């Protein structure tokens, strides 16, 4: 995999460089609520612009259905990129049409343009190789060189991620190089004890990674909505908590495997419960209580790990040499149920080991809860991509950058 440094050494002055970024930022009424992914691609964009390239930044945002949708426009991301660069950023209102060509043609060396949401074109996400290839051909006509730096999308076999690099000289940007380096530290020559904290809503989303980690991690801490399927597998009442009943047999098997393989599988010992899910917009105080994990009332649901579990998990993380955390411990968006996620984040901050926050909601939680990002070893921009890498899967966007 050639890197951007090799490209810069060869020279990019006046060349049109297509940067596949991940500007898939959360928006509330058109306002960006977390610009972490935009800031993550800044070093690559700035280095290319400073070297005299004509930089074309492209990304997806959300899940539009292959047609323009103002709700998913990249305009707010383009404006924020310009603010962070401290320089004007041109914006094209289409992906491969006249506006995109006009924006690129109008660039002077050192200037940047953002083209509209790639997913406004059905060819971007098509499962048909020909349709995807045709869209990649049209994107390739905009540029001379390709730089892949959208780590959050490398697990997708999409035109701009997988097909386009084959049509242009291609290089990995700084973000992808960093992300891959971090993931290698989690899969090759890992420093031990290696502790993994997994949360989030669905256990089914994490089964494949748990399967892999049972042979690699020393300790697995389970929280979030997925914990209730594990508690159910132990025979506990979980009330109206999030539960994937069909996954209980698999979870039982994994618990047995963990015991046989000497992997410590740690589950909540107490949980914060309520009779109803909180209003995440109003964030008004709710009625809630703490119960032991085997005493969840039949008419209530678990929404966070309890205080004893927070202490337990902090203790289990304290001696770790390597930590990977993916998925919040509870409904962190509401103050009544944020303490579990906050406790895990704080334990990582205090850790002397190499700590990795695995993107997605975990990264959002770190920022939402006010933690200094520099206090962590690495905050990934791609939760899904990180998990699939740890599962041992080949990621199309990384394979495409290899020669």
Are 357 and 380 in contact by the 8 Å Cβ rule? The answer is yes
Concerning whether 327 is annotated as a catalytic residue, the answer is: no
Is it true that the peptide bond before 366 is cis, omega within 30 degrees of 0?
no
98: CB partners within 8 A, 6+ apart: none
Active site residue 384: yes
d(Cα 211, Cα 200) in Å, to the nearest integer?
17
Report DSSP letters for 88-124, one per residue: -EEEESSSSSHHHHHHHHTPPTT-EEEE--GGGSTTT
> Which of 150, 360, 382, 383 does the annotation list as catalytic?
360
Active-site hit among 150, 223, 358, 384: 384
Six token digits for residue 187 = 């899969």
**DSSP character for 377?**
S
Residue 175 neighbours by CB under 8 Å, 6+ apart: 40, 41, 43, 44, 149, 151, 381
Residue 156 CA to residue 139 CA, distance in Å, equals 17
A 10 A CB-CB count for 6 gives 11
207 is written with which tokens? 């089964």
Of 46, 202, 367, 393, the catalytic one is: 202
Peptide bond into 193 cis (omega under 30): yes
Angle between helices 36-50 and 75-85 in degrees, nearest 10 = 60
Each residue of 316-343: b (16+ CB within 10 Å) or e? bbeebebbbbbbbbbbbbbebbbbbbbb
Nearest partner of 368 among 335, 391, 340, judged by Cα:
335
Paired strand residues for 272: 290, 304
Cα(389)–Cα(155) distance, rounded to whole angstroms? 8
- Choose, from 15, 16, 20, 37, the residue flagged as catalytic: 37
Residue 202 a catalytic site member: yes
Residue 6 has, within 13 A of its CA and on its CB side, a CA count of 12
User: Is 310 tagged catalytic?
Assistant: no
Cα separation, 221 vs 324, whole angstroms? 10
Question: Catalytic amino acids?
Answer: 37, 202, 360, 384
């Amino acid at each position: 995999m050639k890197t951007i440094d090799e490209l810069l050494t060869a020279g990019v002055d006046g060349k049109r460089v297509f940067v596949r970024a991940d500007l898939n930022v959360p928006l509330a009424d058109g306002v960006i609520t977390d610009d972490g992914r935009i800031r993550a691609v800044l070093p690559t964009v700035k280095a290319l612009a400073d070297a005299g390239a004509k930089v074309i930044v492209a990304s997806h945002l959300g899940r539009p259905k292959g047609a323009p949708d103002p709700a998913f426009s990249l305009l707010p991301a383009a404006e924020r990129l310009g603010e962070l660069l401290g320089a004007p950023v041109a914006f094209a209102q289409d992906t491969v049409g006249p506006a995109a060509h006009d924006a690129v043609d109008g660039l002077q060396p050192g200037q940047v343009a953002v083209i509209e949401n790639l997913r406004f074109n059905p060819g971007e996400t098509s499962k048909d190789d020909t349709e995807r290839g045709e869209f990649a051909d049209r994107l390739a006509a905009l540029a001379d060189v390709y730089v892949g730096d959208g780590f959050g999308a490398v697990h997708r076999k999409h035109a701009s991620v997988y097909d386009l690099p084959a049509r242009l000289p291609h290089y990995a940007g700084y973000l992808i190089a960093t992300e891959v380096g971090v993931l290698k530290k989690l899969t090759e020559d890992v420093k031990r004890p290696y502790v993994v904290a997994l949360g989030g809503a669905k256990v089914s989303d994490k089964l494949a990674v748990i399967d892999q980690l049972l042979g690699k991690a020393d300790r697995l801490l389970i929280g979030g909505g997925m914990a209730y399927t594990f508690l159910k597998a132990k025979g506990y009442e979980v009330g109206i908590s999030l539960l994937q009943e069909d996954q209980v047999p698999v979870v039982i098997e994994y618990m047995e495997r963990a015991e046989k393989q000497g992997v410590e599988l740690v589950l909540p010992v107490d949980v914060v419960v309520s009779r109803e899910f909180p209003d995440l917009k109003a964030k008004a105080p709710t009625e809630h209580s703490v119960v032991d994990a085997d005493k969840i009332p039949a008419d209530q649901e678990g929404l966070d790990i309890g205080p004893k579990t927070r202490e337990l998990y902090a203790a289990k993380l304290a001696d770790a040499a390597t930590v990977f955390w993916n998925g919040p411990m509870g409904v962190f968006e509401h103050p009544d149920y944020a303490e579990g996620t906050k406790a895990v984040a704080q334990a990582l901050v205090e850790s002397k080991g190499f700590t990795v926050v695995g993107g997605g909601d975990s990264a959002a939680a770190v920022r939402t809860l006010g933690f200094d990002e520099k206090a962590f070893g690495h905050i990934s921009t791609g939760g899904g991509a990180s998990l699939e890498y740890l599962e041992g899967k080949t990621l199309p966007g990384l394979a495409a950058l290899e020669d």
